[in-house]
Chain A
Amino acid sequence: MQDRNPLLTLFYVLVVIFLFFPILIVVPISFSSGRFLSFPPEEFGLRWYINYFSDPVWMAATFRSLRVALGASILATFVGTLSVIGLGRKRSKTSGALTALFVAPAIVPNIIVALGVFILAVRMGVSDNELTLVCAHAAIGLPFVVLMVGSAYRQIDPTLERAARIMGAGPLRAFLTATLPPLTPAILSAGIFAFFVSFDELIISLFLMSSAETLPMRIWNDLRFEINPTIAAVSVFFVVVTTLAMTIAELLRRRAEKNNAA
C-alpha cells in the first residue's frame, strides 16, 4: 500500500466532519437535562426522551408517519415490482420511455410534485387525508423500487423460468418458483428504501395535510414556535432507526447481488 498523503487524510477527516457534524451535534443535546436547547449541554439525562415518548401529540405524529410510510412502501413495492415484470427484460423504445416515466418522480423536485398533488387532491376533495398521502408518497417511492428491483430482475437468468415451464409449471407458478425467490431480497430492500422516502418526506405532507401531522411536520411546526430539546431526542431516534433500516436494506441488496452472480 502506498504512503498516505497527510493532506489527503486531513481532507477526508474534514469531509466526514462536514457530513456528520450536523447529525452528531444533536446527540449530546438530546441527552441534556437543561430546559433550553444549548450546546454544549451542562447536565445529562433522559428528560427529553421521556418527554417525547410520553407526549400524545408527538406519539400520534410518529405513529401516523409509520402508518403512512408502511402503506406507501407496500403500495410502491407492489406496483413497482409488477411494473418491472411488465416492462420485461429486453430493452426497447417503449420500455425505455416507460422506465423514464416511472423514474420521473425522483427527478422532479418534490415541491412541484407537492403542488400537483395538492391541486389534484383539493379538486377531488381528498386533501388532509392519510390515504391520499400514502398514494403521493408511494409515487415518489416508486422510482427507487423500479430501479432497484429492475436491476436485480435483469440479472436473473431467464432460462430458469423456461426450465420451470417445460417441467410442467404454468406461467405464475414458474415465476413464483424461478424468479421470485432470487428477487425477494431486492424487493425487501426496495421496500425499506420506499418506507424511508415516505418517513422523511416533509414538503408534500405540508401541502396535503393540515390537522393530521406526520412526524417531520410535527418537528417543523415545533421548530417554528419554540426551540425545544425534544426535537433533538426525536432526531436521534429518527437517525438511529433510519441508519439501522438502511443498513439492513444495503445488506439485503448485496446478498442478492452475490447470489445472482453465483
Chain B
Amino acid sequence: MQGSRVHFEKVTKSFGETVALTDFNLDIAPGEFVTLLGASGSGKSTALNILAGFSDATSGEVYTGDRPLTGVAPEHRNVGMVFQNFALFPHKTVAENVAFPLRMRKGARDEIDRRVKAALEMVQLGAFAARKPAALSGGQRQRVALARAVVFEPPVLLMDECLSALDLKLREELQDEIRRIHREIGTTVLFVTHDQTEALTMSDRIAILEGGKIVQIDAPEVLYDRPRTRFVADFIGQSNMFDLSAVTDGTAAVPDMGIDIPVSDPTAVAISIRPERLRVIPGENTSGLSVFQGVVEDETFFGPVVAQTVRLRSGRRLEVRSQRSGHDRLPHTGQTITLAFDPADAAPLVAT
C-alpha cells in the first residue's frame, strides 16, 4: 500500500473567542510518520479533527493527495483513526469490530474474513477474535483499535494520544508495534501526543505546537540538537539557556560565562546547551573549546550518569550531565571546576 501526502494549507480554527489553530501549515510526505507534539490545549486534536472531518476549518484547506477535503464527510475521506479511549463497539466481538470498516466498503464475505484474520494476526490477537471488548485488557483493546484502523489499508492513519491511557510498559510495547506496522503497511501517519519521549522515539518528523501554531518542525535529532527557540529548547529535553550579546562578525559574548563564542546565526539572542554537551575539564587541553569556570553546588547520582548544578560567577546556575565511564574522578560539591563545550554544540536561539 502507498501512503498519501497530507497537506494543511493556512488552516485556522476558532471556537467563538477561542482560537484553536492559527496559520497552521503542514506538509507530510507519502508514508511519513509525523507527530504533533504540544501541551494540552495547543490545538493538536483540533488539527486531527479537521483532517478527519469531525469539524470544519474556519479558513484554509486540507488535502490528502491532491484532493481538497472541505465538504467531504468523514466516511468518504478514507482515513483510519485510533482514539485515546479505544472507541470499540462494546456489543460487537473483536472480529466484528475489525470487520466493520470492510463491511462499510461492501467487501465479499470471505475476503473480509481473510483480512480481519490477517489484521488480528498482525497485532497478535488472532486467538481473541470471538471475545467482546469488555473481556480484554487495555493494551489488547488498543491493539484491536489499531487493527480496526488499518484493516482497510487507509493511505492516512490518525492517532490522537492513543497510548496515553496505558501504563508505561504497555505504552512502550505498543510504540514498537505501531512503528513496525507503519513500516509494514507504509501508510502516512499523523500521530498526536503530549509525551516528548514518545514523539522522539517514534517519529520521522515532529511538529511542536504552541498556541495553535507550529513553532518548529524537524527530525527528532535536529529538534533536540538544534532547537530554534527557547520554547522548543525547554519543551524537548533539558537545556541550559544563556543570553547573548549582539552577534558581530560571527561572534557574541556570553556574559554569564564571561567568554566570547562563535555564533553562526546573526539573529540569535541566546544559546541552548544540553547538560550532556558540557564537559568537566580536569587538564588544560582546551584548544578549540569554549572554557569557563563555576562552583559545583549540588549533584544527583543516576548510576552511569551524574547530574551537577554549577553556579557561575554571575550567579547563574546550569546543569551538567557527565558519564562516569572515564578514569577521572568527578569534582564534588563545593569544588571549583572548569567547564568546556564545543561552540558547535550551542544551538543559537532566535527571539519568537
Q: Does B77 interact with chain A (Cβ within 8 Å)?
A: yes
Q: Is A163 an interface residue (CB 8 A)?
A: yes
A159, CB-defined interface residue at 8 Å: yes
Within 8 A of B (CB), among A157-194: 157, 159-160, 162-170, 173-174, 177-178, 181-182
Contact of B52 among A166, A174, A262 (CB under 8 A): A166
CB distance from B165 to the nearest CB of A (A): 12
Does the CB pair A166–B81 fall under 8 Å? Answer: yes
Q: For A159, A166, A173, A182, which residue has the most chain B Cβ atoms within 10 angstroms? A: A166
Nearest-neighbor residue (CB-CB) of A159 within chain B? B87
Q: How many residues of B contact A (CB 8 A)?
A: 23
**Interface residue? A259 (CB, 8 A):** yes
Contact A177 B54 (CB under 8 A): no
Contact indicator B91/A159 (Cβ below 8 Å): no
B50-67 residues with Cβ-Cβ distance < 8 A to A are 52-54
B83 touches A168 (CB 8 A): no
**Are B100 and A177 interface neighbours, CB within 8 A?**
yes
Indicate which residue in A159, A167, A262 contacts B85 across the interface (CB closer than 8 Å): A159
Tell me which residues across on chain A come within 8 A of B52, comparing CB atoms. Answer: 162, 166
Bound complex: CA A182 to CA B132 (Å): 14
Other-chain contact of B77, A157, A164, A166, A259 (Cβ < 8 Å) = A166
CA–CA, A182 and B89, complex, Å: 9
CA distance A177 to B52 in the complex (A): 19
Knowing A165-B74, A167-B100, A168-B75 are in contact, say whether A259-B105 is a contact too (CB < 8 A).
Answer: no
Asked if B219 lies at the interface with its beta carbon under 8 angstroms from chain A, I say: no
Q: Is B79 interfacial (CB 8 A cutoff)? A: yes
Q: List 14 A-B contacts (CB under 8 A).
A: A159-B83, A162-B83, A162-B87, A163-B83, A166-B54, A167-B75, A167-B148, A168-B75, A168-B104, A168-B105, A169-B75, A181-B91, A259-B90, A262-B90
Q: Which 5 A-B pairs have the closest CB atoms?
A: A168-B104, A167-B101, A163-B87, A165-B74, A159-B87
